């Protein structure tokens, strides 16, 4: 398999976590978002939405959407299973993953793009911006690029995005508490077994750990705190390389490119 | 099982189609959207998003999100199977269903609400509107209600919504053509077998058949035309009662309530 992804993208991180849990070997192809490679014709042939990741399963057969890719991988390589056996718990897992896509991803994009793209994007000339927009396949993303280049998110909007992103932590605390007999007993989001729900949430919590670490303190969200420690102890976590944003920014500034 | 649904809602229609294909008996509870019953505390306990449908599986155990409910029903009652056996085709089916949720549902809501809700909503006093908004659990839906009550969609916006909705027909024509040897040979969206992809699309095509029937003409989209005829011949189609919007409007005006 060949994975076309970006190191800092939450959806890419999910798929890397899943591939690592399954121990599936793959060829890593980092897509340079700053060069807009995700909107190049070769990438759009893999994913018409023009967003990372895309997985090439066999030559010429592609799959996109991280939630779909993860379920596919669990069919493709059933061990270790990453979906609950019980049909009702499985359905709840799917609704949780969907919830993170709908409620957590949009505010995180506002925060990430403000940090990583805004300072460059503001320097684009009108012509450069128009050229870039012409390559973007969806109206939603064109709008987001216009925002970041010309109408940067205000401090109030970023605070609101953070507030929305942190709703995930409260939701997870409730889910974990419902399975756990004591705050110290570690459990996973759907119960005793690690699942695609945990994989879906991990990239968001990894960002929250950088943006607002106090939220993950033992005294504030004891179950999520334990969960986050337990996730980081999994061998797949290291293998999936969820680099810190700070590190990547530093690399970028110093001109090195260890994550390429 | 008990299904809490609305007769005209696309998501509810999907679930009714799926229940009918599976021949699963259920108790039908029509939620009166005009009385905002979907935002009542009893409904929010079943689906915190405050949108139909919600399925009660066993007393006190609820499921929402039509795509999740349909996959659950296919686990719960495996015969006849409504998901492809091949993992890659299954993944493509999931992406198609998601595509309809993301790309087809928003424009259809604009068209449906303009038709069904606008004339009533414009007569609400500011106080009535505020009271209604206070009961709606999500910002997105609050915004949609404000639009329909105070800033009705323009003809241009409605034309744009229709254009976006009709993208589904082009997409389906391509999918069906890729399986079919001749335009007259009937096939389903994922190939030879009827699946949740067909169920996901049916409520949208049912609306398009009312709003813009010419699009479904044999000469315009021959494969979708055949597909739509074939869907309507399935016994589940009649059982799922995809009433015409026109009929319901007429009933409403004449004060009868055959669909309650």
pLDDT digits (tens, 9 = 90+) for A135-170: 999 888 999 999 999 999 999 999 999 999 999 999
- At B258, is the pLDDT very low, low, confident or very high (cuts 50, 70, 90)? very low
Using CB atoms, which residue from A71, A87, A91 is nearest to B94?
A: A71
Note the pLDDT tens digit of each residue in A115-126. Answer: 888 989 999 999
Residue A147 C-beta-side C-alpha neighbours within 13 Å: 15
**Residues A176, A180: Cα–Cα separation, whole Å:** 6
Q: What is the pLDDT of residue A258?
A: 44
Is the pLDDT score of B135 beyond 60?
Answer: yes
- Spell out the domains of chain A, with CATH numbers in brackets: 2-82+250-254 (3.40.30.10)
| Closest residue in chain B to residue A138, using alpha carbons only | B103
Residue B83 C-beta-side C-alpha neighbours within 13 Å: 21
Name the helix (H) or strand (E) containing B255. Answer: none
Backbone angles phi, psi at A115, to 5 degrees: -80, -45
Note the pLDDT tens digit of each residue in A33-63. Answer: 888 999 999 999 999 999 999 999 999 999 9
* Alpha-helical segments (H) within chain B: 10-22, 41-44, 66-76, 87-99, 105-116, 118-121, 126-135, 139-150, 155-179, 196-211, 222-233, 235-240, 245-254
- At A254, is the pLDDT very low, low, confident or very high (cuts 50, 70, 90)? confident
CB contact at 8 A, A75 and A83: no
Q: What is the separation, in whole angstroms, between the first and last Cα of chain B?
A: 18
Q: What is the pLDDT of residue A249?
A: 73
What's the rounded mean pLDDT across residues A84-106?
A: 97
What's the rounded mean pLDDT across residues B158-174?
A: 97
Name the helix (H) or strand (E) containing A64. Answer: strand A61-64
Q: Inter-chain contact B65–A90, Cβ cutoff 8 Å?
A: no
Q: What is the pLDDT of residue B181?
A: 66
3-state secondary structure string across A196-243: HHHHHHHHHHHHHHHHCHHHHCCCCCHHHHHHHHHHHHCHHHHHCCCC
| Closest residue in chain A to residue B85, using alpha carbons only | A75
Is the pLDDT score of B24 beyond 80?
Answer: yes
Is the pLDDT score of A257 beyond 60?
Answer: no
Is the pLDDT score of A111 beyond 80?
Answer: yes
Is the pLDDT score of A182 beyond 80?
Answer: no
What's the rounded mean pLDDT across residues B101-110?
A: 96
Q: Inter-chain contact B90–A76, Cβ cutoff 8 Å?
A: no
Q: What is the mean pLDDT of chain A?
A: 92
Is the pLDDT score of B198 beyond 80?
Answer: yes
Q: Inter-chain contact A88–B64, Cβ cutoff 8 Å?
A: no
Q: Inter-chain contact B87–A64, Cβ cutoff 8 Å?
A: no
| Closest residue in chain A to residue B94, using alpha carbons only | A68
To probe the interface with B, which of A94, A102, A174 has the most B CB atoms within 10 Å? A94
Tokens of A5: 């992804």
Is the pLDDT score of B182 beyond 60?
Answer: no
What's the rounded mean pLDDT across residues B14-23?
A: 98
Is the pLDDT score of B256 beyond 60?
Answer: no
Q: Inter-chain contact A91–B71, Cβ cutoff 8 Å?
A: yes
Q: State the DSSP string of A82-135.
A: -S-SSHHHHHHHHHHHHHIIIIIHHHHHHHHHHHHTHHHHTTS-HHHHHHHHHH
A4: distance to nearest CA of chain B, Å? 18
What's the rounded mean pLDDT across residues A210-237?
A: 96
């Amino acid at each position: 398999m060949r994975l076309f992804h970006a190191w800092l993208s939450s959806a890419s991180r999910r798929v890397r976590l899943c591939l690592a849990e399954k121990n599936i070997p793959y060829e890593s192809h980092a897509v340079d978002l700053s060069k807009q490679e995700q909107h190049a014709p070769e990438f759009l042939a893999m994913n018409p939405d023009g967003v990372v990741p895309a997985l090439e399963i066999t030559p010429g057969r592609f799959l996109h959407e991280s939630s779909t890719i993860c379920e596919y991988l669990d069919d493709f390589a059933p061990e270790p299973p990453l979906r609950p056996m019980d049909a009702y718990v499985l359905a709840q897992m799917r609704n949780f993953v969907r919830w993170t896509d709908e409620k957590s991803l949009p505010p995180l994009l506002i925060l990430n793009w403000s940090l990583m793209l805004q300072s460059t994007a503001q320097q684009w000339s009108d012509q450069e911006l128009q050229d870039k927009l012409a390559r973007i396949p969806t109206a939603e993303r064109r709008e987001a690029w216009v925002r970041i280049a010309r109408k940067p998110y205000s401090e109030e909007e970023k605070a609101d995005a953070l507030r929305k992103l942190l709703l995930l932590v409260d939701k997870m605390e409730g889910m974990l508490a419902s399975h756990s007999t004591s705050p110290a007993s570690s459990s996973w989001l759907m119960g005793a077994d690690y699942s695609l729900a945990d994989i879906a949430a991990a990239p968001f919590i990894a960002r929250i750990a950088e943006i607002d670490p106090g939220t993950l303190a033992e005294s504030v969200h004891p179950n999520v705190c334990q969960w986050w420690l337990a996730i980081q102890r999994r061998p797949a976590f290291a293998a999936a390389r969820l680099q810190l944003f700070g590190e990547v920014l530093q690399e970028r500034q110093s001109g090195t490119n260890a994550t390429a």
